[in-house]
A and B are shown apart, each in its own frame.
Chain A
Amino acid sequence: MSENRIILEVKGLKKYFPIHKGDKTLFVKAIDGIDFEVREGETVGLVGESGSGKSTTAYCVIGMYSVTSGTILFKGKDISCASSQRPLELKRDMQIVFQDPGTSLNPQHTIYKIIELPLKVHGLAKGREMRERIVQLLESVELPESYLYKYPRMIGGGERQMVAIARALATNPSFMILDEPTSSLDVSVQAKIINMLIKLQKEFNLSYLFITHDLSLMRNVATRVVIMYLGKIAEMAPTEIFFQSPQHPYTQMLLSSIPVVTKEEEELKPKKIKSQGEIPSPVNVPPGCSFNTRCPLAKPECFEKDPVMVQVGPDHFVRCNLFA
């Protein structure tokens, strides 16, 4: 995997949001210095709980947010600028699928119109070809032609997500951000969508950045996993290694909290660390290591020193004072 070409490279990325309290201005440090990359054909699972900054990361990469500092390189080109300044070709090559298919599809438009729009904007089909291409895109997500003139409200949540995926595929992208694409769906529907995404990835040689809070799902989908906590990366490793030997205390807490359905899985759950404490607000990140309020292994230095990322194995990185 590591010899594959790097598609996306995020370096020292920060995104702060100002909030006004009385006459003071505070900053929510939604992302506070993260580095990671996505290689060709890979699925990187960006995993975190609420307030960890995973969606903010996605929105910076896609250009919905301007970055506070740091760089984002896409196929070697610096794209750390706002969406409005991005070349059309870049917008064609990089697509995003959102969590809620109900709100991301225009309810006034038929499915035909919804998929037609990106094809028009990028001048990818016209005249008789248009319809053929739209039908072909529906076929690639296994929806019948009869869906062309339906409205989003007339179809199920899973099918709406299929339409959103077809729309993203319309521009022949090489890179897709999947922002919790199945987290509002039932597992039986999720299963269909995930299998579809895996099939499409092979067929079109896509690279995915998969944003989720679901680690069990990533075990089955991701090639590498990146764990975020309060705007920073806690641990990052290839999937197999990650689940065999999770190192960061937060990662272990996360894994130990997952409800599982087999004894085999039970054995993979770290036993020593039990979940405790609340996730602090990103407005009020504790000094030192931001996990120190919940960490059962915290040392005195963890309350002063913010740990740096260290490599603990091939492609395996941990940011924790226990490893420094």
Chain B
Amino acid sequence: MGDLVKIQDLYVWFRVYGGYMKVLNGVNFSVGKGEKVSIVGETGCGKTTTMKTILRILSSQAHIPKGEVLFEEKDILKMKEGEIKRLRGRGVAMIFQDPMASLNPVFTIGDQLAAVISHSGVQDLDKEKIRQLSINALKEVKLPDPERILGSYPFQMSGGMRQRICIAMALATERALIIADEPTTNLDVTIQDQILALLRELVTKRGNSLILITHSLGIARENADRIYVMYAGNMVEVSNNEELFCNPLHPYTEMLLGCVPKLSGGGIAEGIAGRIPDYLNPPPGCRFEPRCPYATDRCREEKPDFVDVGNGHKVACFKYN
């Protein structure tokens, strides 16, 4: 499987009062053509920052001292404005946590779908054709009565329906990559289940690549082929889906899994002592070192790189190197 996106040794810093927040700290990541990948990590670990780099929508305080973000082997960081526009219009679509924020409250759903479809670069679309494509897009996300929905406004829909509409907009035109950033965090669990099943089904049917960002190891397990675990600006582990849960290697992954309440009971682990480092002044070696029960002197001085332990299972920790 060829890589659609490949991020290599990416550093992203944010200029703030008092210095730089050194957020991304040498991120390595890839998603293959037609592959479903999930990034799991806790609040503030840099998941959204990584995705914003792919779309080049980082804020103006952002500074990228080092790294490459390749889309079909071309470096996004070096693309001209025109190329970036084309990438956002045709290459990549993003679905956000809060569908209300990504839908415009003053336009009808029909207007917003039409805008996406007519900007897709496909030629010769008359009004009727656009309308047809919009209706098809709504049908695909299994919304009842698409004709009526075209004339409605976002506030007239439930949270679940709004997220279906966002998926319809993301998939209304051909895209190679769909990025879904916590698409179900604000939804109830039974609605979440429906939305994720829908997203999985559509992405699989079309052969799109998917990057699913989530806090939940369970959501990653049920929706991705491969899973990255992110901690404090680094990818610390990546593996095939089942393997990560049977054989978690990184101390952080192992401890995080222990904290997840299981439907089968057995209690919850004590939690992870300490908290995520201050990005203004992060630990110089392994960023998990201050919280890690296995840390040695080497962990305090050197930054561990990914090592491949076989089968594409990689871990960034000196326990394995």
Binding site for B on A (CB under 8 A): 49-50, 156, 158, 186-195, 213-217, 219-221, 243, 253-262, 264-265, 268-269, 275-276, 278-279
Contacts and interface: CB of A to CB of B under 8 A. Distances in A.
A279 B245 contact: no
Given A220-B266, A269-B263, A213 B188 contact: yes
15 contacts: A50-B188, A186-B42, A191-B258, A192-B270, A192-B271, A194-B268, A213-B189, A216-B261, A219-B263, A254-B190, A256-B193, A258-B189, A268-B264, A275-B193, A279-B191
Contacts of B266: 220
B268 A191 contact: yes
A198 B221 CA distance: 29
Interface of B: 42-43, 158, 160-161, 188-194, 215-219, 221-222, 245, 255-272, 275
A258 B261 contact: no
B273 to A, nearest CB: 8
Contacts of A260: 218, 221-222, 262-263
Contacts of B272: 188, 191
B237 to A, nearest CB: 15
Nearest to A190: B259
Contacts of A215: 189, 263
A186 B215 contact: yes
B263 A188 contact: no
Given A187-B215, A192-B271, A275-B193, A261 B259 contact: no
Nearest to B194: A275
Contact of B271 (A195, A262, A276): A195
A150 to B, nearest CB: 15
A278 B191 contact: yes
Contact of B42 (A50, A187, A195, A219): A187
Contacts of B245: 261-262
A214 B262 contact: no
A195 B269 CA distance: 8
A188 B158 CA distance: 31
Contact of B216 (A213, A219, A221, A259): A259
Contacts of B264: 219, 262, 264-265, 268
A125 B237 CA distance: 51
Contacts of A217: 261
The 3 closest A-B pairs by CB, nearest first: A259-B218, A192-B271, A257-B193
B179 to A, nearest CB: 19
A261 B265 contact: no
Contacts of A219: 261-265
Contacts, number: 119
Contacts of B263: 215-216, 219, 243, 255, 258, 260, 265, 268-269
Given A261-B257, A262-B245, A220 B265 contact: yes
B230 to A, nearest CB: 13
Nearest to A196: B271
A278 B42 contact: no
A202 to B, nearest CB: 14
Given A188-B42, A190-B259, A279-B191, A220 B271 contact: no
A129 B217 CA distance: 46
Looking at B158, B188, B215, B256, the one whose CB has the most chain A CB atoms below 10 A away is B188
Contact of B275 (A156, A253, A269): A156
Contacts of A255: 263
Nearest to B192: A257
A220 B261 contact: yes
Contacts of A275: 190-191, 193-194
A106 B222 CA distance: 40
B261 to A, nearest CB: 4
Given A191-B271, A192-B271, A220-B267, A279 B190 contact: yes
B118 to A, nearest CB: 30
A217 B263 CA distance: 8
Nearest to B218: A259
